[in-house]
């Protein structure tokens, strides 16, 4: 259904406020991705600069994602205009999405990377306003893409629609640069969060304190750097992810001559030495890479770690490589209560991201329906 954002904005402005106190002090924390969702947020693809040759194929990938997710939870889709709304509706319906579980909002975006510029939701137990979110500063991945900084406004618009509190830390951060286990651990990389193109005035101690205050975490696992072709400066969601509170999957390259071999080995070794929230070693499960994926001579950041966990399902990017089935099998074993779907993402990763980069989970809170 098409929602009228202008009506909702006018009704909700007085109900949404930027909070100046930290989420942690009010009892909020960031849930793990596998915890129950109310919905998944997406933005409809339209940018021909991102996909000059693949845009039609990418739109079909969105339709397939919506088909799978809508069977388990609501899909909230942002579109730029009425033409995009009509196109998205037809494509999703033709793909078999459950349209009663699809809400379409006319909120313009520069591009689809809602994981990075969109809200990072936090929750608390009991009482009013159990749902809120962090609105980080988005600076186009270290000011590499200045035009994309316009998407920094999207999160606030979503807050008005949802009528939820918004917390502003004032630091530059993208959602794809952090991962949490919901029990107090944050997983991230030095290459991204310590990069001078994000927050040059902050050191590791200061960054950790912000994450404690705004994610409700207590422990940090710092990996080194990301994979080749990643223009985000080493986002964690391409190299290592929690799959339960004590288990992490980690991308590994087997070929010692490959440029990814040494940095991923270092990350793996750091994870093997890391401890969980109870001081015990984590279970670390290697996940292969899908070989060298290239577009117009440029290596792309193709990784199976860029999966998305929704209610009852896990969406995994695949690349027509023999390791596809191996990765799907490993993840299937790690998510026994969910069905694992491989989504061909060759066209999508030509835009330098995959499934996790274009999705954002909204947690389920008391009184809401999945």
Query: How far apart are alpha carbons 234 and 226 in whole angstroms?
Result: 4
Query: How far apart are alpha carbons 192 and 213 in whole angstroms?
Result: 19
Q: Which of 76, 186, 345, 357 is catalytic?
A: 357
Is 76 catalytic? The answer is: no
Please, which residues bridge with residue 339 across strands? Answer: 313
Query: How far apart are alpha carbons 309 and 359 in whole angstroms?
Result: 10
Q: Exposure string (b/e) for 307-340, b if CB count within 10 Å is 16 or more?
A: bbbbbbbbbbbbbebebbeebbebbeebbeebeb
Edge-to-edge order in the sheet of strand 240-244: 240-244, 247-252, 283-288
Catalytic residues: 357
């Amino acid at each position: 259904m098409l929602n009228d954002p202008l009506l909702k904005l006018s009704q909700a402005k007085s109900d949404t406020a930027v909070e100046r106190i930290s989420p942690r002090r009010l009892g909020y924390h960031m849930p793990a991705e596998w915890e129950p969702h109310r919905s998944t947020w997406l933005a409809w693809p339209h940018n021909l600069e991102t996909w000059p040759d693949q845009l039609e194929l990418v739109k079909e990938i969105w339709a397939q994602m919506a088909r799978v997710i809508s069977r388990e939870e609501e899909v909230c889709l942002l579109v730029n205009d009425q033409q995009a709304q009509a196109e998205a509706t037809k494509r999703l319906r033709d793909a078999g999405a459950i349209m009663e579980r699809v809400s379409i909002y006319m909120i313009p975006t520069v591009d689809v990377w809602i994981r990075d510029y969109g809200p990072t939701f936090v929750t608390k137990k009991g009482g009013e306003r159990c749902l809120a979110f962090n609105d980080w500063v988005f600076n186009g991945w270290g000011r590499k893409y200045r035009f994309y900084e316009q998407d920094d406004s999207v999160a606030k618009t979503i807050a008005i629609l949802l009528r939820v509190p918004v917390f502003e830390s004032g630091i530059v951060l993208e959602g794809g640069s952090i991962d949490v286990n919901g029990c107090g651990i944050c997983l991230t990389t030095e290459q991204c969060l310590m990069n001078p193109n994000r927050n040059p005035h902050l050191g590791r101690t200061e960054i950790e304190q912000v994450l404690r205050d705004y994610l409700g975490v207590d422990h940090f696992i710092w990996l080194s750097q990301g994979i080749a072709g990643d223009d985000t400066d080493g986002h964690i969601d391409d190299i290592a992810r929690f799959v339960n509170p004590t288990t992490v999957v980690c991308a590994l390259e087997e070929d010692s001559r490959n440029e990814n071999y040494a940095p991923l080995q270092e990350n793996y070794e750091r994870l093997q030495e890391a401890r969980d929230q109870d001081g015990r070693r984590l279970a670390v499960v290697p996940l292969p890479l899908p070989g060298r994926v290239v577009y117009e001579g440029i290596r792309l950041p193709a990784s199976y770690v860029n999966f998305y966990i929704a209610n009852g399902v896990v969406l995994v990017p695949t690349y027509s490589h023999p390791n596809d089935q191996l990765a799907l099998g490993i993840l299937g074993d790690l998510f026994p209560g969910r069905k694992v779907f491989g989504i061909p993402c060759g066209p999508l990763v030509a835009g330098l991201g995959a499934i996790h980069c274009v999705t954002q989970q909204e947690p389920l809170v008391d009184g809401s329906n999945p």
